[in-house]
């Protein structure tokens, strides 16, 4: 029995996954059911939803000092329109798979694909739903207008304009997902944690640069991502998948990295543009 199967079996017993007779009965790489809007069933689908209204602060009020700070940061990032950093922010906005699996490949130093790293790929795909949906109780409660509706400026993903007009700005769902993934990947590859967390923060920054979120939206989104990450630690299937994904990383870390792409990304992030 391989280490990954031993780990999955131990986790299945410890967390009580239906008295499995062997670890092979848990296929952590199996495709998850589609739930619509490009999402698949998350790990927390059968649990009480995370109520983000309870723990994220009320968004800044119009005319407040906090809103003035959001305005100033939004205005400052306007200088990045049309730059390489603007283009990277547009790429970061894409959360469909397989494209989304490549967001952290440079900071992780490993290419993530469904064929090459099936457990890690599925881990990102399913947890996206958990991180993103956790923002919606607060989104619906506050229905905060997005920056482009206030300042009238362009966004980096014009094809999403109509959809974003009716989707609340606070908290940022992308930021919850990006930061949640950064926490997951740091858990799996602690030797790359600093680089992964830096990329997670830059990912949230991309939402401000795109003119689709305020700074406070991204901060609240990261808090929601952290809350969902904490909840996932008690989910048996998530932990079973983590065990297999950790072995995939141990075997493939540093392989198949596009050095030119990563050098360019690092230069863009280092310069801010």
Catalytic machinery residues = 174, 207, 213, 217
Q: How far is CA 224 from CA 52, 218, 219, 258, in A?
A: 6, 10, 9, 32
Instruction: Report d(CA 90, CA 203) in Å as an integer.
Output: 10
Instruction: Report d(CA 145, CA 85) in Å as an integer.
Output: 24
Instruction: Report d(CA 232, CA 120) in Å as an integer.
Output: 15
**Which string of DSSP letters, residue by residue, matches 15-42?**
HT-TT-SSGGG--TTSPPPEEETTEE--
Contacts of residue 236, Cβ cutoff 8 Å, sequence gap at least 6: 11, 12, 15, 16, 17
Instruction: Report d(CA 164, CA 155) in Å as an integer.
Output: 10
**Which string of DSSP letters, residue by residue, matches 42-79?**
-TTTTSPPP-TTTTSPPPPPTTSHHHHHHHHHHHHHGG
Burial of residue 167 (number of CB atoms within 10 Å: 0-12, 13-18, 19+): middle
């Amino acid at each position: 029995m391989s280490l990954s199967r031993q780990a999955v079996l131990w986790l299945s017993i410890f967390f009580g996954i239906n008295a499995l007779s062997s670890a092979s009965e848990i296929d952590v790489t199996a495709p998850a059911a589609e739930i619509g809007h490009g999402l698949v069933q998350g790990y927390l689908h059968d649990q009480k939803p995370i109520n983000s209204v309870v723990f994220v602060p009320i968004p800044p009020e119009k005319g407040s000092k906090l809103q003035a700070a959001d305005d100033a940061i939004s205005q400052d990032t306007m200088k990045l329109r049309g730059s390489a950093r603007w283009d990277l922010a547009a790429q970061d906005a894409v959360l469909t798979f397989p494209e989304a699996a490549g967001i952290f490949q440079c900071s992780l130093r490993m290419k993530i694909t469904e064929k090459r790293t099936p457990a890690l790929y599925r881990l990102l795909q399913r947890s996206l739903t958990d991180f993103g949906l956790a923002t919606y109780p607060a989104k619906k409660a506050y229905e905060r207008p997005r920056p482009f509706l206030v300042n009238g400026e362009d966004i980096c993903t014009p094809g999403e304009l109509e959809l974003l007009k009716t989707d609340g700005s606070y908290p940022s769902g992308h930021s919850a997902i990006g930061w949640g993934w950064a926490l997951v990947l740091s858990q799996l590859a602690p030797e790359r944690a600093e680089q992964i967390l830096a990329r997670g923060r830059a990912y949230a920054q991309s939402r401000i640069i795109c003119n689709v979120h305020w700074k406070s939206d991204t901060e609240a989104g990261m808090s929601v991502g952290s809350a969902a990450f904490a909840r996932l630690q008690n989910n048996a299937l998530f932990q079973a998948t983590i065990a297999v994904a950790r072995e995939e990383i141990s075997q493939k870390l540093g392989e198949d990295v596009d050095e030119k792409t990563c050098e360019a990304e690092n230069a863009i992030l280092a310069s801010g543009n």
